[in-house]
Structure 1
């Protein structure tokens, strides 16, 4: 029965990744790219580079092909923090998005489904929101600029959300420079806004959870969680109310999608561990050492 449940979940995740990747490629190739809208991220940067290659070298390179050159190194940056299953899902996701992007671009010859740039930004942003939600539901990622933001956040001790906004804004401004059209940033920021609102509507919960772990093997858990998932946490000193025994409690803040991998690691090392989770606000997130 356990094997059946696992296989069933794997099929569901595979379907979400497949359709999510197709929708993501559709949003870029049929709405955003033809209208010269670069809403940040790897594909926004790929759109800018493709236009530069056209202008300077008169080369026609697929959007997905260019994006792969960025996704691969970004995946390698994030690989140490992913489990084996999540790593495979991520690889499959960004390869599928690249493949679908180039195929759709070839089939439609780079022509948008609608001519109005504002409609392209609305439809493109909405499709991106739905597709990214599906991919996240499958516990996968696109190895995008959020990966780079996470790496930089550890170096500069800055919020990941702030760095993502900063990186995406740079990409948007690069689009303004390359396309020489002041409407490009406006349409791009409209697409980003719609995209974020769709994700928020589909997944209203806070993306982070606080986790308290009570175990007699806290040091082993610490080594495993840092080494295999790259998470940070804090040891809290507690005392049992009945036995009054002294013990350490591991407190961690982690993304919701990583809860199940974390529980699996903990229970593998200590099947008797007590784990409790709760929603947490990013604005009140403490610094974890």
Structure 2
């Protein structure tokens, strides 16, 4: 029970932190510069510029309402409740944050806002969270039309940007594209980069000594794979392991100490699921 409470508090903390980053990007940069965004936040901003008497956070909640009603029948209750919690926190951050970053350069504003929003979304995703509608819509599109979540997100963003192009100057839409690109790159760098794993293949006649030292000194998991040399046809034992990026140097040192002629290949493993070495949240 205590562990569940601790996990919920930790998740909520990062949800608040990530939402604060996203809300500041919107209220502190995008709104003062008259920019738009993507997703349902972008749709909220479009309506806000058309109906300035309503606040961004109120419009965001109103847009999300039918999405949640639709999601009630098409997505899991757990995901829906987590998304509802995240949406309310994000809307609260939009309401509380009222500080504007004094920027006069629109390009700089688009880049900074994209970086802040991307960092915020990455923090939210790492906390197993969601801020509402866009994610639910992506899941619904996936279930109804068998499109991937990424493709569903592209469809939603395309609709928002197309509508924006009909209502706002093209320059504003292009700045929104810059914002979206910077945001996506930042999400990838933080979400994947900070927890990057490397898959390594090691082929050596001294594989037993290498495996023993890797297990003892680096505490990494190892799988032995039977292989056969392509030229001589001799039997080979291949060591396969997924390691943290920070362990690369230590692993290389052990391999080369035991067998300077060993073959070793490192490959990026972006999405790893596992109890000890996994780097992805389990939604």
Does the TM-score normalized on the shorter chain lie above 0.5?
A: yes
Residue segments in structure 1 that go unaligned for 5+ positions in a row: 55-59, 206-255, 261-274, 280-289
2:164 corresponds to 1:171: no
1:52/1:132 CA distance change after superposition, 3 Å: same
Query: Secondary structure of the equivalent of 1:118?
Result: helix
Alignment of 1:174-193 (within 5 A): 174-179=163-168, 181-193=169-181
CA–CA separation in structure 1 for the residues paired with 2:9 and 2:142: 34
> 3-state SS of the aligned residue for 2:35?
coil
Render the CA deviation track for 1:46-81: whole Å, top value 9, x for unaligned: 111111224xxxxx1100100101222223333453
| Distance in structure 2 (CA, Å) of the matches to 1:98 and 1:278 | 32
1:282 corresponding residue in structure 2: none
Output the TM-score relative to the length of structure 1. Answer: 0.62
Q: Which residue matches 1:199?
A: 187
User: Which of 105, 109, 124 pairs up with 1:135?
Assistant: 124
In the TM superposition, residue 40 of structure 1 has moved relative to its aligned partner by 1.3
Decide which structure has the larger Cα Rg and report it: 2
Quick one: distance in 2 between partners of 1:45 and 1:24?
15
Displacement of 1:278 in angstroms is 8.7
Structure 2 residues without counterparts, runs of 5 or longer: 194-270
5 Å-filtered alignment, 1:74-223, equals 74-79=67-72, 81-84=75-78, 86-104=79-97, 107-108=98-99, 111-179=100-168, 181-204=169-192
> For 1:7 and 1:112, how far apart are their aligned partners in 2?
36
1:239-278 aligned at under 5 Å gives the runs none
Secondary structure (helix, strand or coil) at the match of 1:34 reads helix
Q: 1:112, CA displacement in angstroms?
A: 4.6
Secondary structure at the aligned position of 2:128 is classed as coil
Contact 1:35–1:112 (CA under 8 A) maintained in structure 2:
no
Change (3 A) 1:102 1:121: same
**Partner residue in 1 for 2:9:** 11
Answer yes or no: is the 8 Å Cα contact 1:31–1:112 preserved in 2: yes
* TM-score, normalised via structure 2 length: 0.63
